[in-house]
Chain A
Amino acid sequence: MLNPVLLLLTTLLLSSSLNAQIRITDVHGEHVFEQPPAKVVALNWAMAEQLIELEAPLLAVSDVRGYQEWVVKPKLPEGIHDLGARAEPNLEKMARLQPDLIIVSGITKAQVERLKNIAPVLNFNTFSNTHNNPQVAIDTFRQLALLFNKTVLAEQKLRDMQQRFVELRSALTSAYQGKLPKVATVRFANTASVYMYGDNSMSQYALKQLGINPALAITSSQWGLVQKRVLELSKIQTGSVLYFEPFNEYPQLQASRLWQAMPIVRNNKVAAVAATWTYGGAMSLKYLAEAMAQSLLILAAKNIELGLSEKNFIEAKQ
C-alpha cells in the first residue's frame, strides 16, 4: 500500500512543476514546452499506443484500421482521425486538423523538417539495434507522461505492470511446480519458416519479467527477430515454444511428420498465444506477459492432464 501522504506530496510537487517549462529529449535534442499539448497526432502505432495508455489528447493516427486489427490493445478511442498509410501519412489532412504536436519515430531529418511546418515534432527512437528496445519503450513512456502531466498515472501503470508480472510469475511457478520452462517465442511465416524473437524483443523481455529464460539464443537485432527454418526449433530439447496467432496454416504444419518428430511437439511443449502486437510501447509488455502467461498456464494444465492420463494408463495396465 502506498503512503497517502507521500502520494499527495508527489502530486503537489508535480503540479508545482506544471507552471515551469516541460523539457523533453528526443533524438534531435531537448525541446521545451510551456504547457502540455492538447491536440496530438501520432504517426506510429507504438507511439499512439503509449499516448492512449497515458490518456493523452490524441487527435489522429496513421492507418486506423491496421491499428485495430494488429495492435488491438489498448482500444483506439472513438473519433480519432485516420491519416492513411503509415509510410505516407496524409500531410494535407494533418495540417487541416491543426495539431499542436506531432509524435513520430524512425523517420528522417528531412521528413521531420517538413512536418515542422504543421506543428512541433517529437521524434523518438523506438526500435533500434543500438539500444535496448523494451527499456527505451519504458523511458519514452515516462518522457511522454512528463509532457502530458501524467507522471502519476504513468508511474501507477508501471507499478501495476510490475505487480502483474509478480502475480503472473507466481501463478506460473505454482503451475509448473517451481520449475519454469525455458521458452522461445516465434511467429510463423509459413509451414517452413519462422520468425524467432530474440534479444532486444519485447516478448523476450516480458518473459524475463516472468522469470523465464529464452530456450534459444537469438542474437540481438533492430526489431528483435530473425527469420529461420522451422527446423531450427528442433534444437530445443527441453524448453517450450509459444507462437503468436494468427497462423492459419497450423493444421498443415501439425500434419507434417517433420513437425511431429520435433522434441517440442513430442513432449507437447507448443502453445499458441492470442494475437498480440509485438512492436508496441511500454504497456504492450504487460499485454504480452498476460497473453504468454495464459498460454503457458494452459500448456502446464494440459501436460499435467497428459501426465495423469499416462499415469492412469500405466496403473490400469498394471
Chain B
Amino acid sequence: MILRYSTTIAAIIVFSGVYLLYDTTLSSAVQWQLVTGKTPELFSEFVYLFATLPRLVMALMVGAVLGLVGSLLQQITRNPLLSPLTLGTSAGAWLALILISIAVPSLAPDLKALVVMIGSMLAMGLVLLIAGFRELAGLRVILAGMAVNILLGAITSAIIILRDQYAKNLFIWGAGDLAQNDWQWMIWLAPKLIIALVILVIAPRILQLLRLGQSGAQSLGLATTPVLIALFGAALWLMSATITAVGIISFIGLIAPNIARLLGANHARDQLYYSTVLGALLLLLADFVARIVSNLSVDIIPSGTATAIIGAPMLIYLAMRGSRAEDQMPLSQYGENQRKLTLKKWLGISCFALFLLVMALFLNNDGVSWRWNMPSDFEITTRIPRILIALAAGICMAVAGTVLQRLINNPLASPDLLGVSAGATAAIVISSLLTGQSLFVLNPLIALTGSAVMLAILVLLTRAKQFSGGTVLLLGISLTAMVEALVQFVLAKGSQDVYNLLSWLAGSTYHVQLSQSLYLLAASAVILTLSLISSRGLTLLNLNTEIAAARGLNVTLNTNAVLFLVALSCAFVTALLGPVAFIGLLAPHIARLLGAQKVKSQLLLAALLGAIVLILADWLGRNIIFPSQVAAGTLAAALGGGYFILLLLKAKLNRKTFI
C-alpha cells in the first residue's frame, strides 16, 4: 500500500516537472526563482507564472476533487459505474449557463458563475429529491440521475438550436478547458474546495459502516439519513464548483475509483484517498496530452476531450480485465407486477395510436391557430415521411430497448448505453470533420459502418470472456462519453455550420425523405419479427444463463444474435434519423407498467408505445413553436424524461418500487 501511494505521488511529481518544462525556454532553476519571488520580466516568465503554473495546479486540484467525489459517490451508492456527472450536475450547469448567457449576455462573470453553480446544484438536488434520501444506495438514484440528465439535456439542446449564435462561445466550456490566464479562477475555486479536506477526515469511517447497508449502519449507531445528506451535499458542492470553474471534464471521477479498486484499494479509507491521488495524476496526464496535441495541431484540444480520449480506452481495459463480483452493476431484477394486460388495454392503446396518426397528418398549427385541415399535396409529401420515420424509429428503439433489458436483466439498460448509437454518431461526426462534407450527405452508409465496428468490438470482447451485462454497459458508457467529448470538440471549433450538426444530433425528422422512411419502416418490421422469433431465447436468458444452457439453448449464439439485433436497430435509426435517446429505456418500462409480463407482449406493446411517443413528439415539435421546430428526438427525450420523473416520484409517494 505504501509502495502504491509513493509510486503514484512520485509519478505526480515527475510529470508535474515535465509538464512545467514542456514548451518553454525557462530552466527549472529560473522557474524556482520565479516561484520564490523573482519578479517576472520576460514574457515567457509571465507565461510560466500565470498560465502554465496555475494550469498545473488547477489540473491537480480538479483531478483530485473529481477522484474524491467519484469514489465517495461510488461508495455511497455502491455502484462502480456511477460517475459524478451522471447525477445531473453537468446537465444542470449546462442548462443554467445557456439560459443565463442568452437571457442576460452582459451579466458579470462572477454572477454567471454563481448562476451556473446554482443550476448544477438544483439539478442534483432534484435527482436526490426524486430518488429519496433513503434510497441513495440503490438503483433509483441512478435512474433519477439519468432521467434528469436527459430531460435537462433535451431542453438545453432545443434552446441551443434555436439560438445557436449565443451558444457558440460556450461550447469550449462544455468541452472542459483548464487553460488559465492568471490565478483568478484558482482564487475563486480553492476556498470552495476546503470542504474536501473535511470529507477526507470524516468520510472513511462512515463509508466503512455504510458497507453494512443502511440498516446495518443504523444499528451500529450511525444516523444514516443526515449523514448521507451531508456527504451528498458536500459532493454536490464540490462538483458544482469545479464544473463552474473548468467546465465538463468527464471520466476522471468514473475511472479513478475503478483503477484504485483494481490496484487493490479495498478499505473505504484507502479507496477514498487513493482515488483522490489517482484523480490528480490522471487529469495531469490527460491535460499534458491535451497541451501537446494542441501544440501539434491547428485546433485547440480541450482538456475534457483529452480525458475522454484517454479515459475511454482505460475503461475498456478495465472492462476487459473483468470486474470482480462487487464491481458488478447492481442488477435490479425485473420485479413482479400484479397488473394484467387486458384486451381492453390493447384496444385502447391501438385506437390512441391510430388517432394520433390521423391527428399528426390533419391537425396542425399554421401560424395563426391550430386547425383541422385537409393537407395540400405538398404538405402530404412533407408530413408523411416524418410521421412514418417517427413510427419506424419508435418501433426500432423500443424493440432494441426491450431486448437489451431482458438480455442483461436490467431495467436501466437502454440501447443508447450499449454505445452502438454512439458508434454511429462518432462515425458520422468524424467523417464530416475530416471531409468537410454535410452530415446529411454522409449519413446512411457511414453510420452503419460505425455501429458495425462497435458491434464487432462488442462481440469480440464478449466472446473473449464470459458475457457479462456489466462489462457491456461499461463499454457503452465509455464510448458514449467519448462521442460526447468528440462532439463538444467539433462544436467548439466555431464554424458557422454548427447548427447543422446540432439539428442532426437532436434527432430531427426534418431532413428525412420518403424513401428513407420506407426503408426504416421495412427494417422496423423485420427487427420486430426477428425479436418475436427470438423471444423464447430471451425468456430463458432472462432467467439465468445456466438454466438456459440446461434447457438446450446455445447461449453464446443466442446472445450474439440478440445483440446483433440491437445494434442493427441503433444503426438504422442513427443512420436515417440521428441519435434517438430514451425511447429504448422508456417504452419497455411503460409496457411493463401496463402489465406486459411476457417477453412477446412486452415487445409488441413497447413497440406500439415507442411509435406513439415519437409520433407525438414529432407532431408537437413541428407545431408548438411554429414556424420554428423542435426535433422529435429532443421532444421525445423531454416528454419521456418528464414522465419518467413523475413515475419515480409517484412510486416514491406510494412507497412502492415500480421497477
Contacts and interface: CB of A to CB of B under 8 A. Distances in A.
A87 interface: yes
A108 to B, nearest CB: 5
- Candidate in A88, A193, A230 with the most chain B CB atoms within 10 angstroms: A88
B513 A110 contact: yes
B627 A193 contact: no
A258 B49 CA distance: 8
A167 B211 CA distance: 79
A259 B181 contact: yes
B177 A227 contact: no
B494 A225 contact: yes
B193 to A, nearest CB: 20
B378 interface: yes
B43 interface: yes
**Which range holds the interface residue count of chain A?**
35 or more
A223 B495 contact: yes
B493 A227 contact: yes
Nearest to B180: A192
A251 B162 CA distance: 29
B109 A249 contact: yes
Contacts, number: 160
Contacts of A195: 494
Contacts of B364: 92
Interface stretch (B306-314, B346-354, B503-511, B584-592): B503-511
B333 interface: no
Contacts of B165: 66, 69-70
A227 B107 CA distance: 24
Interface stretch (B121-129, B294-302, B539-547): B294-302
Given A111-B511, A189-B494, A195-B494, A261 B379 contact: no
Given A83-B627, A111-B440, A258-B50, A190 B173 contact: yes
Interface residues of B, number: 61
Interface in A87-143: 87-93, 95-96, 106-111, 114, 117-118, 127, 129
B15 interface: no
B50 A193 contact: no
B629 interface: yes
B438 A108 contact: yes
B372 interface: no
B382 interface: yes
Interface in A222-254: 222-223, 225-231, 234, 246, 248-249, 251-253
Contact of A193 (B164, B177, B495): B177
Interface-centre pick from A87, A234, A259 (highest chain B CB count, 10 A): A87
A262 B300 CA distance: 20
Contacts of A108: 438, 440-441
B615 to A, nearest CB: 17
A239 B157 CA distance: 40
B497 interface: yes
Given A192-B181, A222-B495, A255-B184, A96 B366 contact: yes
Contacts of A74: none
Interface string A187-220: 1111111010000000000000000000000010
A78 B436 CA distance: 36
Interface centre among A109, A187, A257, A259 (most CB of B within 10 A): A257
A256 interface: yes
A92 B499 CA distance: 21
- Most chain-A Cβ atoms within 10 A of its Cβ — which of B181, B184, B366, B497? B181
B367 interface: yes
B51 A82 contact: no
B46 A261 contact: yes
Contacts of B379: 92, 95
Nearest to B516: A110
A279 interface: yes
B47 interface: yes
A302 interface: no
Contacts of B440: 108, 110-111
Nearest to A195: B494
B118 interface: no
A230 B299 contact: no
A86 interface: yes
A37 interface: no
B7 interface: no
A85 interface: yes
B105 A87 contact: no
A83 B629 CA distance: 10
B210 interface: no
B369 interface: no
B184 A227 contact: no
A255 B188 CA distance: 14
A253 B25 CA distance: 25
B300 A66 contact: no
B502 interface: yes
B201 to A, nearest CB: 34
B376 A95 contact: yes
B47 A258 contact: yes
A229 B440 CA distance: 32
A240 to B, nearest CB: 17
Contacts of B49: 257
A93 B627 contact: yes
Contacts of A85: 161-162, 499, 503, 628-629
B500 interface: yes
Given A95-B379, A222-B436, A84 B627 contact: yes
A269 to B, nearest CB: 15
A229 B161 contact: no
Contact of B499 (A86, A107, A223): A86
Contact of B181 (A118, A256, A279): A256
Contacts of A90: 626-629
B46 A257 contact: yes
A255 B182 contact: yes
B335 interface: no
B43 A234 contact: yes
A118 B51 CA distance: 55
Contacts of B497: 106
Contact of B298 (A82, A92, A226): A226
B481 to A, nearest CB: 22
Contact of A88 (B47, B300, B378, B629): B629
A87 B503 contact: yes
A92 B105 contact: no
Contacts of B109: 248-249, 251-252
B182 A256 contact: yes
A249 B170 CA distance: 12
Nearest to B379: A92
B468 interface: no
27 contacts: A66-B165, A83-B627, A84-B627, A85-B499, A85-B503, A87-B161, A90-B626, A90-B627, A92-B364, A92-B382, A95-B376, A95-B378, A110-B513, A127-B496, A188-B169, A189-B168, A190-B172, A190-B173, A192-B179, A222-B495, A227-B493, A246-B105, A246-B106, A251-B109, A255-B182, A257-B46, A259-B181
5 pairs of A and B residues whose beta carbons are closest in the complex: A84-B628, A256-B182, A261-B46, A256-B181, A192-B179
Interface of A: 63, 66, 69-70, 82-93, 95-96, 106-111, 114, 117-118, 127, 129, 187-193, 195, 219, 222-223, 225-231, 234, 246, 248-249, 251-253, 255-259, 261-263, 279
